Amino acid sequence: GAGVSQSPSNKVTEKGKDVELRCDPISGHTALYWYRQSLGQGLEFLIYFQGNSAPDKSGLPSDRFSAERTGGSVSTLTIQRTQQEDSAVYLCASSHRQGPVGEQYFGPGTRLTVT
Amino acid sequence: GQNIDQPTEMTATEGAIVQINCTYQTSGFNGLFWYQQHAGEAPTFLSYNVLDGLEEKGRFSSFLSRSKGYSYLLLKELQMKDSASYLCAVSDNQGGKLIFGQGTELSVKP
């Protein structure tokens, strides 16, 4: 079946511009996560959505980062006034478990380069 | 604080066995995951441990000791395609977000 999809796969933007990254989770998955992976670094948690609950935004690095999830499905991660340190691969994952723990299925990621 | 440690790099020979260790200190614990990530690809799930002991799945096994904050991933009968980064991650008790280590880059040599 269809896995998690993300778009665009690559994005090059100038410093100071805003970018939007999109994630389509696996159908029926109630939980959706955003992570980012900088070169040579581990995955860093950004934000988590679970059903209709308020999202866990504890990993967002600054107020330039925001995310929304419409209709419990598609999610958009927005980075305003991008900086060079925002360059990374942004990964989205979804999970079908209702409980606090569930295997997370990752999308292919969006490689963001800020010049 | 949250801290997950694993070796940065390991090298092993095709057909051999390799053990990748992971130690963790987290404010909450709701299970430990191992993921495999080939270069340029998304991480894929390998194993999950929440109780102490060994979980075996084909050539891969994972062990957990909660009292020691320790886990390992054991790969048997190594194949060239096992060359990848292996990520240790802990699910904290706040909704299932994963806290990742930096990953262990495994190179399998002929």
Per-residue pLDDT tens listing for chain B (110 residues): 689 999 999 999 999 999 999 999 988 888 999 999 999 889 999 999 999 999 998 999 999 999 999 999 999 999 999 999 999 999 877 667 889 999 999 999 99
Residue A101 in contact with partner chain B when CB distance is under 8 A: yes
Closest CA to A6 of A113, A105, A115: A105
With 0-12 / 13-18 / 19 or more C-beta atoms within 10 angstroms meaning exposed / middle / buried, residue B100 is buried
d(CA B49, CA B34): 9
Six-digit token string for B59: 């050539």
Inspect the interface and report whether the beta carbons of A106 and B95 lie closer than 8 Å: no
Inspect the interface and report whether the beta carbons of A100 and B93 lie closer than 8 Å: yes
Six-digit token string for A63: 């107020």
Q: Say if residue A18's pLDDT is above 90.
A: yes
* Beta-carbon pairs below 8 A across chains A and B: 69
Residue A107 in contact with partner chain B when CB distance is under 8 A: yes
Q: What is the pLDDT of residue A100?
A: 46
pLDDT interval class at A101 (50, 70, 90): low
